[in-house]
C-alpha cells in the first residue's frame, strides 16, 4: 500500500508541477526537487534510498532513446564534430581538472577516487537540458546541447568505471582508453543493429497498440546486451533512438508514428518527474549521514559551490575556441557558396559537366570523393551530393553561433540525474563515500537551482538568436509548399494519382528526401510531416 501511495503522489506531483511551471516561471524539475525535499521532511516519511541501477538501467535508457529519436539526423550530422568535442573531449578535460582539484582539497583522497568524483560531476544532464529547450532558443543551439548531453553521460560513466577499477588494482591510462574506445564502438554497433531491427519488426506489426507495447521494450533490447558485453548501454540506447527516429517516417505508418509519439511524450514526462522527485527525497538522508560522520555539511556545501564555478569556467574555456571554429566554418561556407553555385551551373552544361563532376569529387573528399572522381557515382547522385553541400553551407551561414549563444550554452550546462545516479554507484567501501555522494548531490541540485532557476533571465538578458524570423519562416514554408507541389506534378499530378492519400504519400516521400539533403529546416520538415500524417489518419478513419 505504501508503494501505491508513493506512486500516486509522484504522478499527481508531476502533473501539478508541469501545469504550474509556465504560470510561475519556474522550471518543472526545480518544482519537483522542492516537492521531494519537502515530502522527505514530513513526519513518518522514511529515508529514501533508490538503487542507482534503477536509474542507470531502468530510467535513463528509455529517456535517452526518446531524446535520440527526436533529434533530427541531419542536424546531428552537421554538428557531429562540435557534439563530439563537447561530449567527449570536454568530459575528459573536466574529469582530469576536477580530479586534481578534489585530490588537493580533500585530505587523504587518492588519485583514483579523486578522478572518480571528477567523472561523476563532469557530464551535463540530458533531462536538465529540457529546461533550456522550452525557452525558444535557436534550434541549432538546442541540437548542440541535446547531442552533448546524450553522449557525455556515457563517456563519464566509462571514465568512472575506469577510475574505480584503478582504485582496486593497477590499471594504466592506456587500459582505460582502450576500454573507452571498445565500450563506445561496440555500443554504436549494437544501437545501429537494434534500431534497424526495431524498424523492421515495427513495420510488420499492424496492430498499433501491440506496436506501442513492443516499442517500450526497444531501449532495453539495445542497452541490456551492450552492458552484458561491457559496452555502454546508454550509448546503445541513444544510437538506437537516432536510427529509429530517422527511419520511422519511411518504415512506419502514420498511425504507428502518432501513437509512439504520444506514448513517448507521456513516458518522458513521467520518468523525468520521477527522477527529480527522487533527488529531492534522497538528499535529506545523505545530509544526515554526512553530519554524523563529518560533523556538519559546511565543507561539502563550500566544495560543491566551488565545483560548480570550476565546471562553468572549464565549459567557458572550451566553448570559446569551439565558437571561433564555428565562426571560421561559417566564413568558409560563405566564401564557398558562390563556388558551389558556379559548379551547379557548369554541371548542367554538357560541355563543362566532366570538370564540374571532378570539382565535386575533390570537394567531397574521402571515399565518396574518390568514387566520384573514378566515375563510379551516377550523375544524379553527384547532383544530390552538390545539393547537400549547398544546403550545409546555407545552414552554417543562416544560423551562426556568436558570443551571446555561447554564453547561454555555458550557463545551460547543468548537472542532474546522471551525476546523482553515478554517485550512488560508488562501492560501499569507498573512502568518505557519504561525503563524496553529498558533494555530487549538492553539485547537481545547486546547478539546477542556480543555473536552472536563472537561465530564463539569462536568455532574456543576453537575447541570443531565436532562429528564423517570422518573415523567414513564412518564406521557407512557401518554398516547401512549392517543392511539394512540384513533387506531385512530377508524379503525374493529383488527378493521375487518383486520391488524396496517394498525393500525401508522394509528398511524404518528397519530405523524407528533402530531410536527407537538408534543404529545409528540420523543424519545418517535422511540422509538415506531422500535418500530413494527421490528414492521412483522418482520411483513413
- The per-residue pLDDT for range 449-508, each reduced to its tens digit, is 888 888 888 888 988 888 777 888 889 899 999 988 888 888 888 877 778 888 889 999
Residues 47, 16 share a domain: yes
Boundary-marking domain end, from 439, 462, 485:
462
Which residue would you say has higher pLDDT here, 337 or 417?
337
In the structure grid, which three cell numbers stand for residue 159, read together? 571514465
Nearest to 141 by CA among 362, 365, 462: 462
pLDDT digits (tens, 9 = 90+) for 401-416: 888 989 999 998 888 7
Q: 30: which 3 cell numbers?
A: 526545480
User: Same structural domain for residues 409 and 531?
Assistant: no
From residue 386, alpha-carbon distances to 112, 390, 449 in Å are 50, 6, 47
Instruction: List the CATH number of the domain containing 412.
Output: 1.20.1530.20
In a domain, 264, yes or no: yes
Does 438 share its domain with 501?
no
Could you tell me the three cell numbers for 264?
A: 513517448
Summarize pLDDT for 280-339 with one digit per residue, the tens.
887 777 777 777 766 568 888 899 999 999 999 999 999 999 999 888 888 888 888 888
- Burial class of residue 502, CB neighbours in 10 A (0-12, 13-18, 19+): middle
Residue 501 and residue 421 share a domain: no
pLDDT of 94 reads 93
Which of 424, 440, 462 marks a domain boundary? Answer: 462
Task: Print the domain residue range for 414.
Answer: 2-325+402-462
Alpha-carbon separation of residue 331 from 130, 320, 328, 344 (angstroms)? 31, 17, 5, 21
Percent helix, strand, coil in the chain, to 5, is: 80, 0, 20
458 contact partners, CB below 8 Å, separation of at least 6: 407, 408, 411
Same domain, 532 and 451: no
**CA separation for the pair 299, 536 (Å, rounded):** 61
Q: What is the mean pLDDT of residues 130-137?
A: 75
Question: Per the domain annotation, does 534 fall within a domain?
Answer: yes
What burial class does residue 384 get, using C-beta atoms within 10 Å of its C-beta: 0-12 exposed, 13-18 middle, 19+ buried? Answer: middle
Distance CA 357, CA 321 (A): 35
At 2 the pLDDT is: 62
Same-domain status, 266 and 186:
yes
> Among 256, 88, 100, 227, which residue's Cα sits nearest to residue 156?
88
- Asked whether residue 438 falls in the same domain as residue 526, the answer is no
Sign of the CA dihedral running 459, 463, 467, 472: positive
Name the domain count of the chain: 2
Q: Which range has the worst mean pLDDT, 113-117, 325-329, 369-373, 430-434?
A: 369-373
Helix (H, G, I), strand (E, B) or coil at 120: helix
Query: How far does Cα 501 stand from its chain's mean position?
Result: 34
Amino acid at each position: 500500500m505504501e508503494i501505491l501511495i508513493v506512486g500516486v503522489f509522484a504522478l499527481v506531483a508531476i502533473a501539478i508541477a508541469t501545469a504550474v511551471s509556465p504560470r510561475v516561471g519556474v522550471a518543472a524539475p526545480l518544482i519537483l526537487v522542492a516537492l521531494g525535499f519537502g515530502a522527505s521532511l514530513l513526519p513518518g516519511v522514511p529515508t529514501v534510498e533508490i538503487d542507482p541501477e534503477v536509474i542507470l538501467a531502468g530510467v535513463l535508457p528509455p529517456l535517452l532513446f526518446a531524446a535520440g529519436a527526436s533529434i533530427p539526423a541531419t542536424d546531428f550530422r552537421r554538428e557531429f564534430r562540435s557534439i563530439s568535442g563537447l561530449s567527449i573531449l570536454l568530459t575528459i578535460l573536466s574529469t582530469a581538472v576536477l580530479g586534481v582539484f578534489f585530490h588537493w582539497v580533500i585530505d587523504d583522497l587518492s588519485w583514483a577516487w579523486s578522478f572518480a568524483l571528477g567523472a561523476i560531476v563532469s557530464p551535463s544532464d540530458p533531462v536538465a537540458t529540457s529546461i533550456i529547450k522550452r525557452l525558444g532558443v535557436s534550434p541549432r543551439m538546442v541540437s548542440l546541447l541535446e547531442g552533448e548531453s546524450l553522449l557525455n553521460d556515457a563517456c563519464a560513466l566509462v571514465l568512472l568505471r575506469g577510475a574505480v577499477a584503478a582504485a582496486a588494482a593497477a590499471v594504466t591510462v592506456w587500459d582505460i582508453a582502450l576500454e573507452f574506445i571498445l565500450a563506445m564502438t561496440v555500443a554504436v554497433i549494437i544501437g545501429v543493429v537494434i534500431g534497424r531491427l526495431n524498424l523492421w519488426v515495427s513495420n510488420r506489426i499492424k496492430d498499433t497498440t501491440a506496436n506501442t507495447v513492443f516499442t517500450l521494450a526497444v531501449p532495453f533490447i539495445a542497452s541490456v546486451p551492450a552492458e552484458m558485453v561491457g559496452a555502454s548501454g546508454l550509448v546503445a540506447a541513444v544510437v538506437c533512438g537516432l536510427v529509429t527516429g530517422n527511419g520511422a517516417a519511411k518504415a512506419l505508418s502514420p498511425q504507428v508514428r502518432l501513437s509512439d509519439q504520444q506514448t513517448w511524450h507521456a513516458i518522458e514526462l513521467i520518468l523525468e518527474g520521477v527522477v527529480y522527485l527522487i533527488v529531492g527525497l534522497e538528499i535529506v538522508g545523505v545530509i544526515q549521514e554526512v553530519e554524523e560522520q563529518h560533523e556538519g555539511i559546511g565543507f561539502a556545501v563550500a566544495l560543491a559551490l566551488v565545483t560548480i564555478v570550476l565546471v562553468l569556467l572549464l565549459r567557458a574555456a572550451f566553448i570559446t575556441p569551439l565558437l571561433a571554429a564555428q565562426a571560421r566554418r561559417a566564413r568558409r561556407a560563405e566564401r564557398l557558396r558562390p563556388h558551389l553555385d558556379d559548379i551547379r551551373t557548369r554541371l548542367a552544361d554538357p560541355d563543362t559537366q566532366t570538370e564540374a563532376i571532378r570539382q565535386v569529387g575533390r570537394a567531397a573528399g574521402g571515399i565518396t570523393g574518390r568514387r566520384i572522381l573514378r566515375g563510379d557515382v551516377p550523375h544524379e547522385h553527384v547532383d544530390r551530393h552538390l545539393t547537400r553541400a549547398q544546403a550545409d553551407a546555407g545552414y552554417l551561414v543562416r544560423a551562426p553561433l556568436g558570443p551571446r549563444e555561447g554564453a547561454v550554452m555555458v550557463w545551460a550546462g547543468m548537472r542532474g540525474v546522471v551525476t546523482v545516479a553515478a554517485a550512488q554507484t560508488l562501492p560501499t567501501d569507498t573512502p568518505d563515500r557519504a561525503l563524496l555522494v553529498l558533494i555530487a548531490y549538492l553539485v547537481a541540485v545547486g546547478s539546477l537551482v542556480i543555473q536552472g532557476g536563472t537561465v530564463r533571465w539569462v536568455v532574456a538578458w543576453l537575447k541570443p538568436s531565436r532562429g528564423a524570423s517570422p518573415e523567414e519562416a513564412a518564406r521557407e514554408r512557401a518554398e516547401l509548399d512549392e517543392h511539394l507541389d512540384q513533387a506531385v506534378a512530377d508524379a503525374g499530378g493529383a488527378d493521375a494519382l487518383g486520391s488524396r492519400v496517394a498525393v500525401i504519400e508522394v509528398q511524404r516521400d518528397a519530405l523524407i528526401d528533402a530531410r536527407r539533403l537538408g534543404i529545409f529546416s528540420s523543424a519545418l520538415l517535422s511540422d509538415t510531416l506531422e500535418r500530413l500524417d494527421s490528414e492521412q489518419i483522418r482520411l483513413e478513419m
